[in-house]
């Protein structure tokens, strides 16, 4: 028999439990709604920032054999550059004197002048590798530096969150675009260090602020002793600091990130002064970039379209790598920026735009622009690929890479690139006066030689320092400005060309037969042609013993040149 009071108590207790359960259910439902709303907001935020693929696949770990293939591909085109002979000569001088500051002994227009060599460390490194193992040592050095550049770019690509398939495709195209420029020059070190910088900037962009960016301070101190390309890297860092700082202020009304990035940039700028030249290293760069005459004497200092025109005239095959592949990178970035827009990497996009403009202004910036453009290009191509797959309901799968195919390609690239030979060939369209130099050595002809600019290093290697040259690739670091202007006037057959022949103590003139300089000497009665082949023409002073020894020009042939 139930008690009325007890029943009432039980009913009240059940009511309270029911109310609690209802409140709990409502709270749980509310929590789910809030959580769902939060997830939607987060997803929407991620979508706005272009982060549909947060997973990061690093090809260095996931596909090391493929990365090795890209490294060999970037190093597969090996040829001698005009200044390689001089780099080894200069490196040997510095190692012998045990100091980076040298007085010139190879020219007669700047003899005894102190050379302001801002690439001294690159020349020393190159010489050490060559003297230790010959051409094989140069190939190993290049493979290591180019390999570092490709590995850094692969790590930068991983920061973008793009799929492995997109990263592989872009790494191949990047290696292909850089291969013709990955040569035995100080620029080689700039490519690797700029790739390292882009890796750190990609991490800063896609993961958020990190103290690891301070690593660039000692890197810039090293860079300033290797190559003047550090100026481009510092410009990229400064642009990143300004754009990323402004963007952060726009988002959160804070300036902390901008201040930190500016502090890093300032510290890197000060670090560049840790070199034997001090502030003069900046003077070298600025004088070369803004000199009105110097860019006219060097093809790669001309506008990109001008370089294209030159390639189409002399070596059309070079136009593919010098112009069309880099231009393809620039167009691809613009296309994917439109197809998959986002503002989370605005700073990288601005840097890319500036470097593209610099490349069209001066072709020398084209490979640097490829390195800079590659990172945001991978990002936006990856976002576009992910969105397209999601729209079709497809899951992007990585098919991997066949190791047998990779090994076969590695061997083929190594064979084609000359990794198994002991000599370096010359670039297509580039000829050297091997016949004329052999003629001079055979007959003991020595003296001051007004040589074609790009031949000077070769002449110095074979005939110097007993025979001295008028000007060479050290132009902005050694020679007075007037010497450079006089050379351009002579070689282009401009006003003042005859004066150049009269006012300097030349004893020989060595120029291509189809050049303006040839016309200047040929019409001057004080000079006599003593040797000629399909590459070079050699003149001697009309009253000299050499002119008397060869009353009629000797016709010869110029063999293909290899280094050394």
What are 411-446's pLDDT values in tens digits?
Answer: 777 776 667 677 788 876 788 999 999 999 999 999
Confidence of residue 297 (pLDDT cuts 50, 70, 90): low
With 90 as the cut, is the pLDDT of residue 250 above it?
Answer: no
Give the range among 369-378, 492-501, 523-532 with minimum mean pLDDT: 492-501
pLDDT over 70 for what percent of the chain?
Answer: 84
Confidence of residue 22 (pLDDT cuts 50, 70, 90): low
Are the C-beta atoms of 192 and 219 separated by less than 8 Å? no
DSSP H stretches of helix in 291-402: 294-297, 304-314, 318-319, 325-339, 346-361, 366-391
Higher-scoring residue by pLDDT: 6, 280: 280
Sign of torsion, CA 343 348 353 356?
A: negative
Q: What is the pLDDT of residue 3?
A: 46
Q: What is the pLDDT of residue 416?
A: 67
Give the range among 296-310, 325-339, 440-454 with minimum mean pLDDT: 296-310
**Could you say which DSSP state residue 55 is in?**
-
On average, the pLDDT of the chain sits at 84
DSSP per residue, 237-300: HHHHHHHHHHHHHHHHS--HHHHHHHHHHHHHHHHTT-STTTTHHHHHHHHHHH-SSHHHH-GG
Give the range among 2-6, 22-26, 47-51 with minimum mean pLDDT: 47-51
pLDDT per residue as tens digits for the range 56-84:
889 999 888 889 989 988 988 888 888 89
CA distance 424 to 234: 33
Q: What is the pLDDT of residue 398?
A: 56
Give the range among 96-110, 127-141, 383-397 with minimum mean pLDDT: 383-397
CB-based burial label for 6 (10 Å; 0-12, 13-18, 19+): exposed
Beta bridge partners of 451: 510
**Could you say which DSSP state residue 505 is in?**
-
> Distance from first CA to last CA of the chain, Å, rounded?
116
CA distance 18 to 155: 58
Show the tokens assigned to 210: 């990190």
Q: What is the pLDDT of residue 134?
A: 92
Q: What is the pLDDT of residue 351?
A: 96
Higher-scoring residue by pLDDT: 18, 111: 111
With 70 as the cut, is the pLDDT of residue 36 above it?
Answer: no
Sheet of 508-511: strand order equals: 449-451, 508-511, 537-541, 527-532, 554-555
pTM of the model: 0.84
Please name the helix (run of DSSP H) or strand (run of DSSP E) that holds residue 529, with its range, or none. strand 527-532
Least Cα distance to 425 among 185, 77, 133, 176 occurs for: 77
Confidence of residue 49 (pLDDT cuts 50, 70, 90): very low
Strands 508-511 and 527-532: unpaired
Show the tokens assigned to 406: 């990779």
pLDDT over 90 for what percent of the chain?
Answer: 54
Confidence of residue 18 (pLDDT cuts 50, 70, 90): low
Higher-scoring residue by pLDDT: 427, 337: 337
Beta bridge partners of 449: 469, 508
Q: What is the pLDDT of residue 26?
A: 52
**Residue located via tokens 């008690």:** 3
Confidence of residue 369 (pLDDT cuts 50, 70, 90): very high
């Amino acid at each position: 028999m139930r008690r009325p009071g007890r029943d009432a108590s039980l009913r009240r207790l059940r009511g309270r439990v029911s109310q609690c359960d209802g409140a709990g259910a409502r709270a749980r439902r509310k929590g789910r709604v809030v959580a769902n709303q939060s997830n939607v907001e987060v997803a929407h935020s991620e979508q706005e920032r272009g982060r549909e693929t947060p997973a990061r696949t690093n090809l260095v770990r996931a596909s090391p054999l493929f990365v090795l293939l890209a490294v060999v591909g970037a190093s597969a085109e090996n040829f001698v550059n005009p200044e390689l002979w001089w780099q080894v000569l200069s490196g040997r001088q510095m190692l012998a004197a045990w100091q980076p500051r040298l007085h010139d002994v190879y020219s007669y227009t700047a003899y005894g002048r102190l050379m302001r060599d801002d690439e001294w460390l690159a020349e020393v490194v190159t010489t050490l590798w060559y003297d230790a193992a010959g051409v094989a040592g140069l190939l190993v050095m290049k493979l290591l530096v180019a390999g570092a550049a490709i590995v850094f770019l692969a790590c930068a690509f991983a920061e973008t969150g793009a799929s492995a398939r997109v990263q592989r495709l872009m790494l191949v195209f990047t290696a292909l675009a850089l291969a013709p420029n990955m040569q035995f020059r100080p620029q080689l070190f700039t490519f690797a260090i700029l790739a390292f910088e882009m890796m750190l900037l990609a991490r800063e962009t896609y993961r958020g602020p990190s103290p690891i960016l301070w690593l660039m301070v000692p890197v810039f101190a090293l860079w300033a002793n290797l190559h003047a390309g550090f100026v481009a890297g510092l410009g990229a860092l400064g642009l990143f600091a300004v754009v990323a700082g402004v963007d952060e202020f726009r988002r959160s009304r804070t300036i902390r990130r901008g201040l930190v990035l500016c502090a890093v940039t300032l510290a890197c700028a000060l670090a560049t002064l840790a070199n034997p030249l001090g502030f003069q290293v900046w003077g070298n760069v600025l004088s070369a970039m803004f000199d009105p005459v110097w860019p006219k004497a060097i093809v790669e200092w001309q506008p990109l379209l001008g370089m294209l025109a030159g390639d189409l005239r002399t070596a059309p095959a070079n136009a593919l790598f010098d112009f069309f592949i880099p231009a393809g990178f620039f167009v691809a970035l613009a296309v994917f920026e439109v197809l998959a827009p986002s503002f989370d990497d605005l700073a990288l996009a601005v840097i890319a735009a500036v470097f593209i403009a610099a490349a069209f202004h001066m072709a020398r910036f084209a490979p640097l622009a490829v390195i800079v453009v590659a990172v945001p290009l991978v990002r936006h191509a990856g976002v576009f690929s992910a969105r397209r797959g999601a729209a079709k309901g497809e899951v992007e799968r990585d098919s991997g890479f066949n190791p047998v195919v990779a090994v076969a390609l590695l061997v083929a690239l190594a064979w084609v690139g000359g990794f198994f030979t002991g000599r370096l060939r010359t670039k297509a369209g580039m000829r050297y006066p091997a016949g004329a130099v052999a003629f001079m050595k055979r007959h003991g002809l020595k003296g001051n030689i007004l040589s074609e600019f790009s031949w000077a290093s070769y002449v110095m290697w074979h005939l110097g320092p007993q025979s001295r040259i008028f000007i060479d690739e050290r132009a902005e670091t050694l020679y007075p400005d007037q010497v450079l202007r006089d050379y351009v006037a002579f070689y282009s057959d401009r006003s003042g060309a005859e004066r150049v022949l009269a006012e300097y103590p030349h004893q020989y003139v060595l120029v291509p037969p189809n050049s303006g300089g040839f016309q200047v000497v040929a019409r001057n009665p004080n000079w006599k042609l003593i040797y000629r082949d399909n590459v070079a023409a050699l003149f001697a002073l009309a009253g000299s013993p050499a002119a008397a020894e060869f009353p009629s020009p000797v016709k010869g042939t110029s063999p293909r040149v290899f280094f050394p």
